[in-house]
Amino acid sequence: MADSNTPISCPVCCREFKRDIIEEHVNKCIFLNTPEDSVSKRVNTSSVTTSPKRRKLNSTSNGPIKRESESYEAEKSSKHTAVLNKKNEKIPLAEHMRPVELADLVGHMDSFGPGTMLRAMLEQDKIPNMILWGPPGCGKTSLANVIANICKKSKTMRFVKMSATMAGINDVKEIVKIAKNEAQFKKQTVLFMDEIHRFNKLQQDTFLPHVENGTITLIGATTENPSFSLNNALLSRCRVITMQKLSIDDVLEILQRAVKNNDDIVITDSEESIEDMCKDHIPRIIVAKESLIWLAEICDGDARIALGALELSIMSRDSDNDVCKDGPAILSLDDIKNGIKRTHMLYDKKGDEHYNIISAIHKSIRASDDNAALYWTTRALHGGEDPLFIARRLIRAACEDIGLADSSALVEAVACLQGCQHIGMPECNVLLVQCAVRLARAPKSQEVYRAMKRCQQHLEGMKGPLPSVPLHLINAPTKLMKQLGFGNGYNMLHKDDSGLTYMPEGMENYDFFNASGD
Protein backbone atom coordinates (compact mmCIF):
# COMPACT_ATOMS: atom_id res chain seq x y z
CA MET A 1 0.00 0.00 0.00
CA ALA A 2 1.30 3.45 -0.97
CA ASP A 3 2.57 5.80 1.70
CA SER A 4 -0.03 8.40 2.80
CA ASN A 5 2.64 11.07 2.43
CA THR A 6 3.24 10.26 -1.25
CA PRO A 7 2.13 13.33 -3.25
CA ILE A 8 -0.63 12.89 -5.80
CA SER A 9 -1.15 15.18 -8.80
CA CYS A 10 -4.48 17.00 -9.07
CA PRO A 11 -6.17 16.16 -12.41
CA VAL A 12 -7.52 19.73 -12.66
CA CYS A 13 -4.62 22.02 -11.78
CA CYS A 14 -1.77 19.45 -11.99
CA ARG A 15 -0.41 20.45 -8.58
CA GLU A 16 0.68 17.86 -6.03
CA PHE A 17 -0.92 17.26 -2.65
CA LYS A 18 -0.83 14.67 0.10
CA ARG A 19 -3.14 11.67 -0.25
CA ASP A 20 -5.29 12.57 2.77
CA ILE A 21 -6.26 15.98 1.40
CA ILE A 22 -6.31 15.38 -2.36
CA GLU A 23 -10.04 14.53 -2.48
CA GLU A 24 -11.09 17.69 -0.65
CA HIS A 25 -8.82 19.76 -2.88
CA VAL A 26 -10.21 18.30 -6.11
CA ASN A 27 -13.77 19.14 -5.06
CA LYS A 28 -12.79 22.72 -4.35
CA CYS A 29 -10.62 22.96 -7.44
CA ILE A 30 -13.52 21.98 -9.68
CA PHE A 31 -16.13 24.34 -8.29
CA LEU A 32 -14.12 27.02 -6.49
CA ASN A 33 -11.18 27.82 -8.72
CA THR A 34 -8.68 30.13 -7.12
CA PRO A 35 -8.28 33.67 -8.52
CA GLU A 36 -4.88 32.64 -9.81
CA ASP A 37 -6.35 29.71 -11.74
CA SER A 38 -9.23 31.79 -13.08
CA VAL A 39 -6.86 34.42 -14.38
CA SER A 40 -4.61 31.85 -16.02
CA LYS A 41 -7.59 30.26 -17.74
CA ARG A 42 -8.81 33.58 -19.11
CA VAL A 43 -5.37 34.63 -20.28
CA ASN A 44 -4.40 31.35 -21.96
CA THR A 45 -7.13 28.74 -22.20
CA SER A 46 -4.94 26.44 -24.27
CA SER A 47 -2.40 26.00 -21.49
CA VAL A 48 -4.45 23.19 -19.96
CA THR A 49 -4.07 20.93 -22.96
CA THR A 50 -0.69 22.03 -24.33
CA SER A 51 1.30 22.07 -21.10
CA PRO A 52 0.35 19.94 -18.09
CA LYS A 53 3.01 21.56 -15.93
CA ARG A 54 1.90 24.05 -13.30
CA ARG A 55 3.75 25.86 -10.57
CA LYS A 56 4.25 23.35 -7.77
CA LEU A 57 3.98 24.02 -4.08
CA ASN A 58 7.01 24.71 -1.96
CA SER A 59 8.53 21.65 -0.41
CA THR A 60 7.45 22.88 3.00
CA SER A 61 3.78 23.13 2.03
CA ASN A 62 1.35 20.53 3.33
CA GLY A 63 -1.69 21.61 1.33
CA PRO A 64 -3.04 23.93 -1.31
CA ILE A 65 -2.28 27.62 -1.32
CA LYS A 66 -5.01 29.58 0.42
CA ARG A 67 -7.00 32.03 -1.61
CA GLU A 68 -6.29 35.68 -0.89
CA SER A 69 -9.78 36.23 0.49
CA GLU A 70 -9.48 33.23 2.81
CA SER A 71 -6.20 34.40 4.30
CA TYR A 72 -7.62 37.90 4.68
CA GLU A 73 -10.68 36.62 6.56
CA ALA A 74 -8.44 34.51 8.76
CA GLU A 75 -6.35 37.56 9.60
CA LYS A 76 -9.44 39.60 10.45
CA SER A 77 -11.06 36.87 12.52
CA SER A 78 -8.31 37.02 15.13
CA LYS A 79 -9.18 39.11 18.15
CA HIS A 80 -8.21 42.74 17.80
CA THR A 81 -4.67 42.62 19.15
CA ALA A 82 -1.92 45.11 18.46
CA VAL A 83 -4.40 47.32 16.67
CA LEU A 84 -2.15 50.30 16.28
CA ASN A 85 1.21 48.51 16.04
CA LYS A 86 3.41 49.46 13.13
CA LYS A 87 3.32 45.95 11.70
CA ASN A 88 -0.40 46.44 11.06
CA GLU A 89 -0.22 50.03 9.85
CA LYS A 90 -1.20 49.10 6.29
CA ILE A 91 -4.67 48.01 7.41
CA PRO A 92 -6.87 50.90 8.63
CA LEU A 93 -7.94 50.88 12.25
CA ALA A 94 -11.61 50.86 11.23
CA GLU A 95 -11.03 47.61 9.33
CA HIS A 96 -9.16 46.08 12.28
CA MET A 97 -12.03 46.83 14.61
CA ARG A 98 -14.61 44.90 12.62
CA PRO A 99 -16.55 42.67 15.05
CA VAL A 100 -16.40 38.92 14.54
CA GLU A 101 -19.05 37.82 17.03
CA LEU A 102 -22.63 38.90 17.66
CA ALA A 103 -21.61 39.97 21.15
CA ASP A 104 -19.08 42.39 19.63
CA LEU A 105 -21.75 44.40 17.77
CA VAL A 106 -22.29 47.91 19.13
CA GLY A 107 -25.63 49.66 18.84
CA HIS A 108 -28.78 48.67 16.90
CA MET A 109 -30.31 46.94 19.89
CA ASP A 110 -33.79 47.20 18.40
CA SER A 111 -32.79 45.11 15.39
CA PHE A 112 -29.99 42.85 16.61
CA GLY A 113 -30.06 43.10 20.39
CA PRO A 114 -30.64 40.13 22.71
CA GLY A 115 -34.18 38.79 22.45
CA THR A 116 -34.83 40.11 18.93
CA MET A 117 -35.95 37.79 16.15
CA LEU A 118 -32.92 38.48 13.94
CA ARG A 119 -30.51 37.91 16.81
CA ALA A 120 -32.16 34.57 17.57
CA MET A 121 -31.97 33.50 13.92
CA LEU A 122 -28.29 34.41 13.63
CA GLU A 123 -27.47 32.57 16.84
CA GLN A 124 -29.08 29.48 15.27
CA ASP A 125 -27.00 29.97 12.08
CA LYS A 126 -30.12 30.87 10.13
CA ILE A 127 -29.52 33.80 7.78
CA PRO A 128 -32.53 35.40 6.04
CA ASN A 129 -32.53 37.54 2.90
CA MET A 130 -31.93 41.09 4.12
CA ILE A 131 -31.42 44.63 2.87
CA LEU A 132 -29.40 46.69 5.35
CA TRP A 133 -30.30 50.37 4.97
CA GLY A 134 -28.45 53.01 6.92
CA PRO A 135 -26.00 55.94 6.75
CA PRO A 136 -22.24 55.43 6.26
CA GLY A 137 -20.34 54.09 9.24
CA CYS A 138 -23.37 52.74 11.11
CA GLY A 139 -22.27 49.08 11.00
CA LYS A 140 -23.70 47.48 7.85
CA THR A 141 -20.38 45.98 6.72
CA SER A 142 -19.52 45.08 10.32
CA LEU A 143 -22.71 43.04 10.58
CA ALA A 144 -21.78 41.34 7.31
CA ASN A 145 -18.40 40.49 8.84
CA VAL A 146 -20.14 38.81 11.77
CA ILE A 147 -22.29 36.80 9.36
CA ALA A 148 -19.15 35.86 7.41
CA ASN A 149 -17.65 34.47 10.63
CA ILE A 150 -20.85 32.50 11.29
CA CYS A 151 -20.62 31.01 7.80
CA LYS A 152 -16.94 30.23 8.32
CA LYS A 153 -17.69 28.20 11.44
CA SER A 154 -20.55 26.38 9.77
CA LYS A 155 -19.90 23.51 7.38
CA THR A 156 -23.12 24.10 5.50
CA MET A 157 -22.68 27.76 4.47
CA ARG A 158 -20.31 29.69 2.27
CA PHE A 159 -19.95 33.48 2.41
CA VAL A 160 -19.16 35.61 -0.65
CA LYS A 161 -18.56 39.35 -0.44
CA MET A 162 -18.97 41.60 -3.46
CA SER A 163 -19.41 45.32 -4.11
CA ALA A 164 -21.67 46.73 -6.80
CA THR A 165 -19.09 49.45 -7.38
CA MET A 166 -16.66 46.89 -8.82
CA ALA A 167 -18.72 43.82 -9.76
CA GLY A 168 -21.03 43.33 -12.71
CA ILE A 169 -23.74 40.96 -13.90
CA ASN A 170 -21.23 38.40 -15.14
CA ASP A 171 -19.64 38.22 -11.69
CA VAL A 172 -23.04 37.58 -10.11
CA LYS A 173 -23.79 34.86 -12.69
CA GLU A 174 -20.48 33.21 -11.86
CA ILE A 175 -21.31 33.23 -8.15
CA VAL A 176 -24.74 31.73 -8.89
CA LYS A 177 -23.16 29.01 -11.04
CA ILE A 178 -20.82 28.05 -8.22
CA ALA A 179 -23.67 28.25 -5.71
CA LYS A 180 -25.67 25.71 -7.70
CA ASN A 181 -22.72 23.31 -7.62
CA GLU A 182 -22.28 23.90 -3.91
CA ALA A 183 -25.97 23.18 -3.34
CA GLN A 184 -25.38 19.62 -4.58
CA PHE A 185 -23.17 19.16 -1.55
CA LYS A 186 -25.78 20.68 0.82
CA LYS A 187 -23.86 23.94 1.12
CA GLN A 188 -25.77 27.25 1.05
CA THR A 189 -24.16 30.36 -0.49
CA VAL A 190 -24.64 33.68 1.33
CA LEU A 191 -23.94 36.61 -0.98
CA PHE A 192 -23.23 40.02 0.56
CA MET A 193 -23.62 42.77 -2.04
CA ASP A 194 -22.31 46.09 -0.75
CA GLU A 195 -23.67 49.32 -2.30
CA ILE A 196 -26.40 47.28 -3.98
CA HIS A 197 -28.19 50.47 -5.07
CA ARG A 198 -25.41 50.96 -7.66
CA PHE A 199 -27.07 48.19 -9.70
CA ASN A 200 -29.93 49.55 -11.82
CA LYS A 201 -33.39 47.98 -11.72
CA LEU A 202 -32.63 45.72 -14.69
CA GLN A 203 -29.41 44.44 -13.14
CA GLN A 204 -31.20 43.79 -9.85
CA ASP A 205 -33.56 41.43 -11.68
CA THR A 206 -30.61 39.03 -11.91
CA PHE A 207 -30.99 38.20 -8.23
CA LEU A 208 -34.72 37.49 -8.34
CA PRO A 209 -34.96 33.85 -9.53
CA HIS A 210 -31.99 32.72 -7.42
CA VAL A 211 -33.26 34.38 -4.25
CA GLU A 212 -36.72 32.99 -5.00
CA ASN A 213 -35.57 29.36 -5.32
CA GLY A 214 -33.02 29.60 -2.51
CA THR A 215 -29.89 29.17 -4.60
CA ILE A 216 -28.37 32.15 -2.79
CA THR A 217 -29.17 34.05 0.38
CA LEU A 218 -28.86 37.74 -0.43
CA ILE A 219 -27.68 40.40 2.00
CA GLY A 220 -27.62 43.85 0.43
CA ALA A 221 -26.23 47.03 1.96
CA THR A 222 -27.31 50.48 0.82
CA THR A 223 -27.14 54.07 2.01
CA GLU A 224 -30.11 55.12 -0.15
CA ASN A 225 -33.82 54.61 0.43
CA PRO A 226 -34.64 51.09 -0.86
CA SER A 227 -38.14 52.22 -1.81
CA PHE A 228 -36.63 54.32 -4.59
CA SER A 229 -33.31 52.65 -5.38
CA LEU A 230 -34.24 48.95 -5.31
CA ASN A 231 -36.58 46.79 -7.34
CA ASN A 232 -39.98 46.23 -5.70
CA ALA A 233 -39.86 42.55 -6.61
CA LEU A 234 -36.51 42.23 -4.83
CA LEU A 235 -37.80 44.10 -1.78
CA SER A 236 -40.71 41.69 -1.49
CA ARG A 237 -38.24 38.81 -1.16
CA CYS A 238 -35.99 40.49 1.41
CA ARG A 239 -36.52 42.01 4.81
CA VAL A 240 -35.44 45.65 5.00
CA ILE A 241 -33.46 46.37 8.18
CA THR A 242 -33.22 50.08 9.01
CA MET A 243 -29.96 50.91 10.79
CA GLN A 244 -29.77 54.33 12.41
CA LYS A 245 -26.72 56.46 13.15
CA LEU A 246 -24.66 55.29 16.10
CA SER A 247 -25.18 57.27 19.28
CA ILE A 248 -22.37 59.15 21.01
CA ASP A 249 -22.13 56.40 23.64
CA ASP A 250 -21.88 53.72 20.95
CA VAL A 251 -19.07 55.50 19.12
CA LEU A 252 -17.28 56.17 22.42
CA GLU A 253 -17.42 52.47 23.28
CA ILE A 254 -15.88 51.60 19.89
CA LEU A 255 -13.07 54.13 20.40
CA GLN A 256 -12.35 52.82 23.89
CA ARG A 257 -12.16 49.26 22.58
CA ALA A 258 -9.66 50.35 19.93
CA VAL A 259 -7.41 51.92 22.57
CA LYS A 260 -7.75 49.24 25.23
CA ASN A 261 -6.79 46.48 22.80
CA ASN A 262 -3.31 47.97 22.51
CA ASP A 263 -0.88 47.70 25.39
CA ASP A 264 1.14 50.74 24.28
CA ILE A 265 -1.82 53.12 24.62
CA VAL A 266 -3.75 53.89 27.79
CA ILE A 267 -6.72 56.13 28.61
CA THR A 268 -6.65 58.59 31.48
CA ASP A 269 -9.40 60.69 33.02
CA SER A 270 -7.03 63.37 34.27
CA GLU A 271 -3.38 64.33 34.06
CA GLU A 272 -2.95 63.65 37.79
CA SER A 273 -3.20 59.90 37.29
CA ILE A 274 -0.45 59.73 34.65
CA GLU A 275 2.33 59.06 37.17
CA ASP A 276 0.39 56.17 38.69
CA MET A 277 -0.10 54.64 35.24
CA CYS A 278 3.58 54.72 34.43
CA LYS A 279 4.82 52.95 37.59
CA ASP A 280 4.72 49.40 36.23
CA HIS A 281 4.67 50.00 32.49
CA ILE A 282 5.48 53.08 30.43
CA PRO A 283 3.06 53.31 27.52
CA ARG A 284 3.96 55.00 24.26
CA ILE A 285 0.87 57.22 24.24
CA ILE A 286 -1.59 58.39 26.88
CA VAL A 287 -5.00 59.43 25.50
CA ALA A 288 -7.24 61.74 27.47
CA LYS A 289 -10.75 60.34 27.76
CA GLU A 290 -12.27 63.75 27.02
CA SER A 291 -10.60 63.66 23.61
CA LEU A 292 -12.37 60.39 22.81
CA ILE A 293 -15.66 61.90 23.92
CA TRP A 294 -15.07 64.88 21.64
CA LEU A 295 -14.35 62.59 18.68
CA ALA A 296 -17.54 60.65 19.39
CA GLU A 297 -19.52 63.88 19.43
CA ILE A 298 -18.25 65.36 16.15
CA CYS A 299 -18.28 62.25 13.94
CA ASP A 300 -22.05 62.46 13.31
CA GLY A 301 -22.63 58.82 14.26
CA ASP A 302 -20.02 57.53 11.79
CA ALA A 303 -17.70 55.07 13.56
CA ARG A 304 -15.39 54.90 10.53
CA ILE A 305 -14.76 58.65 10.69
CA ALA A 306 -14.11 58.50 14.44
CA LEU A 307 -11.65 55.59 14.20
CA GLY A 308 -9.86 57.19 11.27
CA ALA A 309 -9.47 60.46 13.16
CA LEU A 310 -8.17 58.62 16.25
CA GLU A 311 -5.67 56.66 14.18
CA LEU A 312 -4.44 59.83 12.46
CA SER A 313 -4.00 61.63 15.78
CA ILE A 314 -2.06 58.77 17.37
CA MET A 315 0.19 58.32 14.34
CA SER A 316 1.03 62.02 14.31
CA ARG A 317 2.00 61.98 18.00
CA ASP A 318 3.84 58.66 17.82
CA SER A 319 5.98 59.35 14.75
CA ASP A 320 9.18 60.46 16.46
CA ASN A 321 8.44 59.84 20.09
CA ASP A 322 11.17 58.14 22.12
CA VAL A 323 9.65 56.61 25.25
CA CYS A 324 12.97 56.19 26.99
CA LYS A 325 14.03 59.81 26.60
CA ASP A 326 10.85 61.80 26.32
CA GLY A 327 8.40 59.62 28.20
CA PRO A 328 4.94 58.79 26.88
CA ALA A 329 3.30 61.14 24.41
CA ILE A 330 0.11 62.69 25.74
CA LEU A 331 -2.80 63.12 23.35
CA SER A 332 -4.97 65.80 24.90
CA LEU A 333 -8.26 67.28 23.81
CA ASP A 334 -6.53 70.45 22.57
CA ASP A 335 -4.14 68.39 20.43
CA ILE A 336 -7.02 66.65 18.67
CA LYS A 337 -9.02 69.86 18.27
CA ASN A 338 -6.05 71.60 16.67
CA GLY A 339 -5.41 68.80 14.20
CA ILE A 340 -8.92 67.59 13.42
CA LYS A 341 -11.93 69.68 12.58
CA ARG A 342 -15.49 68.68 11.85
CA THR A 343 -14.88 67.95 8.18
CA HIS A 344 -18.13 66.32 7.25
CA MET A 345 -21.80 66.24 7.91
CA LEU A 346 -24.16 63.66 6.53
CA TYR A 347 -25.89 65.51 3.71
CA ASP A 348 -26.43 64.13 0.22
CA LYS A 349 -27.64 66.88 -2.09
CA LYS A 350 -29.21 64.30 -4.38
CA GLY A 351 -30.26 61.64 -1.89
CA ASP A 352 -32.67 61.10 0.98
CA GLU A 353 -31.15 63.69 3.31
CA HIS A 354 -31.68 66.36 0.65
CA TYR A 355 -35.45 65.79 0.70
CA ASN A 356 -35.64 65.07 4.43
CA ILE A 357 -34.12 68.41 5.42
CA ILE A 358 -36.18 70.50 3.01
CA SER A 359 -39.32 68.71 4.22
CA ALA A 360 -38.36 69.59 7.79
CA ILE A 361 -38.00 73.28 6.82
CA HIS A 362 -41.43 73.39 5.18
CA LYS A 363 -43.22 71.59 8.00
CA SER A 364 -41.56 73.73 10.66
CA ILE A 365 -42.85 76.83 8.87
CA ARG A 366 -46.32 75.31 8.61
CA ALA A 367 -46.31 74.64 12.36
CA SER A 368 -45.15 78.23 13.09
CA ASP A 369 -41.99 76.91 14.82
CA ASP A 370 -39.54 79.69 14.02
CA ASN A 371 -36.73 78.08 16.03
CA ALA A 372 -36.96 74.80 14.10
CA ALA A 373 -37.24 76.66 10.78
CA LEU A 374 -34.02 78.51 11.59
CA TYR A 375 -32.24 75.29 12.60
CA TRP A 376 -33.16 73.24 9.53
CA THR A 377 -32.44 76.09 7.12
CA THR A 378 -29.03 76.69 8.67
CA ARG A 379 -28.28 72.96 8.67
CA ALA A 380 -29.16 72.65 5.00
CA LEU A 381 -26.83 75.54 4.12
CA HIS A 382 -24.10 74.08 6.34
CA GLY A 383 -24.38 70.80 4.46
CA GLY A 384 -23.88 72.53 1.11
CA GLU A 385 -27.46 72.76 -0.14
CA ASP A 386 -28.19 74.97 -3.14
CA PRO A 387 -29.57 78.27 -1.69
CA LEU A 388 -31.83 78.76 -4.72
CA PHE A 389 -33.48 75.41 -4.04
CA ILE A 390 -34.29 76.49 -0.49
CA ALA A 391 -35.57 79.87 -1.75
CA ARG A 392 -37.93 78.19 -4.22
CA ARG A 393 -39.37 76.02 -1.46
CA LEU A 394 -39.88 79.11 0.72
CA ILE A 395 -41.93 80.67 -2.11
CA ARG A 396 -44.04 77.52 -2.22
CA ALA A 397 -44.56 77.66 1.56
CA ALA A 398 -45.61 81.32 1.32
CA CYS A 399 -48.37 80.36 -1.13
CA GLU A 400 -49.40 76.99 0.25
CA ASP A 401 -49.43 77.63 3.99
CA ILE A 402 -49.70 81.40 4.45
CA GLY A 403 -51.66 82.37 1.37
CA LEU A 404 -54.19 85.17 1.76
CA ALA A 405 -53.65 85.43 5.52
CA ASP A 406 -50.60 87.57 4.77
CA SER A 407 -50.23 88.37 1.09
CA SER A 408 -46.94 90.22 1.66
CA ALA A 409 -45.23 86.93 2.62
CA LEU A 410 -45.16 85.86 -1.02
CA VAL A 411 -43.61 89.20 -2.02
CA GLU A 412 -40.83 88.77 0.55
CA ALA A 413 -40.19 85.15 -0.47
CA VAL A 414 -39.79 86.16 -4.12
CA ALA A 415 -37.51 89.01 -3.05
CA CYS A 416 -35.44 86.48 -1.08
CA LEU A 417 -34.98 84.36 -4.22
CA GLN A 418 -33.91 87.40 -6.22
CA GLY A 419 -31.50 88.44 -3.48
CA CYS A 420 -29.91 84.99 -3.47
CA GLN A 421 -29.49 85.15 -7.24
CA HIS A 422 -27.73 88.51 -6.97
CA ILE A 423 -25.30 88.00 -4.09
CA GLY A 424 -24.92 84.18 -3.79
CA MET A 425 -23.30 82.28 -0.92
CA PRO A 426 -22.20 82.83 1.77
CA GLU A 427 -23.75 86.31 1.93
CA CYS A 428 -27.26 85.12 1.08
CA ASN A 429 -27.46 82.74 4.04
CA VAL A 430 -29.00 85.40 6.28
CA LEU A 431 -31.62 86.17 3.62
CA LEU A 432 -32.81 82.57 3.62
CA VAL A 433 -32.84 82.23 7.40
CA GLN A 434 -34.67 85.55 7.82
CA CYS A 435 -37.27 84.56 5.23
CA ALA A 436 -37.80 81.15 6.86
CA VAL A 437 -38.30 82.73 10.29
CA ARG A 438 -40.62 85.40 8.86
CA LEU A 439 -42.79 82.75 7.19
CA ALA A 440 -42.88 80.67 10.38
CA ARG A 441 -44.14 83.68 12.38
CA ALA A 442 -46.73 84.73 9.78
CA PRO A 443 -50.45 83.88 10.17
CA LYS A 444 -51.40 80.75 8.27
CA SER A 445 -54.20 80.07 5.79
CA GLN A 446 -54.48 77.13 3.41
CA GLU A 447 -57.84 78.27 2.05
CA VAL A 448 -56.65 78.76 -1.55
CA TYR A 449 -54.44 75.66 -1.50
CA ARG A 450 -57.25 73.40 -0.29
CA ALA A 451 -59.72 74.91 -2.75
CA MET A 452 -57.26 74.17 -5.55
CA LYS A 453 -56.93 70.55 -4.38
CA ARG A 454 -60.72 70.13 -4.38
CA CYS A 455 -60.92 71.56 -7.89
CA GLN A 456 -58.19 69.17 -9.06
CA GLN A 457 -60.03 66.20 -7.56
CA HIS A 458 -63.25 67.30 -9.25
CA LEU A 459 -61.55 67.51 -12.67
CA GLU A 460 -59.85 64.12 -12.21
CA GLY A 461 -63.17 62.45 -11.31
CA MET A 462 -65.17 64.12 -14.10
CA LYS A 463 -66.93 61.67 -16.39
CA GLY A 464 -67.56 62.48 -20.02
CA PRO A 465 -66.55 65.70 -21.78
CA LEU A 466 -65.71 68.78 -19.74
CA PRO A 467 -68.45 71.48 -19.82
CA SER A 468 -68.05 74.28 -22.33
CA VAL A 469 -67.35 77.89 -21.45
CA PRO A 470 -70.67 79.86 -21.34
CA LEU A 471 -71.23 81.90 -24.51
CA HIS A 472 -71.51 85.21 -22.67
CA LEU A 473 -67.97 84.74 -21.31
CA ILE A 474 -66.38 84.24 -24.75
CA ASN A 475 -64.99 87.26 -26.56
CA ALA A 476 -66.60 88.11 -29.94
CA PRO A 477 -63.90 89.88 -32.00
CA THR A 478 -65.61 89.09 -35.35
CA LYS A 479 -69.04 89.88 -36.76
CA LEU A 480 -69.81 86.18 -37.25
CA MET A 481 -69.12 85.40 -33.60
CA LYS A 482 -71.42 88.21 -32.52
CA GLN A 483 -74.16 86.83 -34.78
CA LEU A 484 -73.70 83.42 -33.18
CA GLY A 485 -74.30 84.92 -29.72
CA PHE A 486 -70.74 84.95 -28.34
CA GLY A 487 -70.40 87.60 -25.63
CA ASN A 488 -74.12 88.35 -25.76
CA GLY A 489 -75.39 89.98 -22.52
CA TYR A 490 -72.00 90.34 -20.86
CA ASN A 491 -71.62 93.27 -18.43
CA MET A 492 -68.98 94.33 -15.91
CA LEU A 493 -71.19 94.37 -12.82
CA HIS A 494 -70.58 92.38 -9.65
CA LYS A 495 -71.72 88.80 -9.93
CA ASP A 496 -74.57 89.46 -7.49
CA ASP A 497 -75.86 92.35 -9.65
CA SER A 498 -74.98 91.24 -13.20
CA GLY A 499 -77.52 88.43 -13.45
CA LEU A 500 -74.84 86.30 -15.14
CA THR A 501 -73.32 82.96 -14.12
CA TYR A 502 -69.59 82.44 -14.38
CA MET A 503 -69.40 78.70 -13.69
CA PRO A 504 -70.05 76.18 -16.48
CA GLU A 505 -73.56 74.95 -17.07
CA GLY A 506 -74.57 72.42 -14.44
CA MET A 507 -71.95 73.62 -11.94
CA GLU A 508 -73.62 76.85 -10.85
CA ASN A 509 -73.88 75.68 -7.22
CA TYR A 510 -70.33 74.31 -6.86
CA ASP A 511 -68.29 76.11 -4.16
CA PHE A 512 -64.74 74.78 -3.80
CA PHE A 513 -63.99 77.14 -0.90
CA ASN A 514 -66.76 75.86 1.36
CA ALA A 515 -66.77 72.12 0.75
CA SER A 516 -68.42 70.12 3.53
CA GLY A 517 -66.12 68.35 5.94
CA ASP A 518 -63.23 70.87 5.75
Please, are residues 476 and 487 in contact by the beta-carbon 8 Å criterion? Answer: yes
Q: What is the amino acid identity at position 273?
A: S
- The DSSP call for residue 65 is P
Please, are residues 339 and 316 in contact by the beta-carbon 8 Å criterion? Answer: yes
- Name the CA radius of gyration of the chain, rounded: 34
Please, are residues 369 and 417 in contact by the beta-carbon 8 Å criterion? Answer: no
Please, are residues 226 and 235 in contact by the beta-carbon 8 Å criterion? Answer: yes
Could you tell me the end-to-end alpha-carbon distance of the chain, in angstroms, rounded to an integer? 95
Please, are residues 178 and 189 in contact by the beta-carbon 8 Å criterion? Answer: yes
Please, are residues 365 and 397 in contact by the beta-carbon 8 Å criterion? Answer: yes
Rounded Cα distance, 438 and 406, in Å: 11
Helix axes 387-397, 352-366, angle to 10 degrees: 40
Please list the residues that pair with 329 across neighbouring strands: 285
Q: Name the stretches of the chain with pLDDT < 70.
A: 1-5, 26-90, 263, 270-283, 317-327, 338-352, 515-518
Number of continuous H segments (helices) and E segments (strands) in the chain: 27, 10
| The length of the chain, given as a count of residues | 518
Pairing of strands 265-268, 157-163: unpaired
Say what the pTM is.
0.59
The pLDDT of residue 277 is: 57
The pLDDT of residue 129 is: 92
Please list the residues that pair with 216 across neighbouring strands: 189
What is each CA distance from 214 to 117, 169, 207, 511, in whole angstroms? 21, 19, 11, 58
Q: Is it true that the peptide bond before 426 is cis, omega within 30 degrees of 0?
A: yes
Domains (range + CATH), the chain: 1-48 (no CATH), 108-242 (3.40.50.300), 261-339 (1.10.8), 353-445 (1.20.272.10), 466-514 (no CATH)
The pLDDT of residue 19 is: 73
What SS3 class is residue 186?
coil
What is each CA distance from 465 to 305, 461, 474, in whole angstroms? 62, 11, 19
What SS3 class is residue 231?
coil
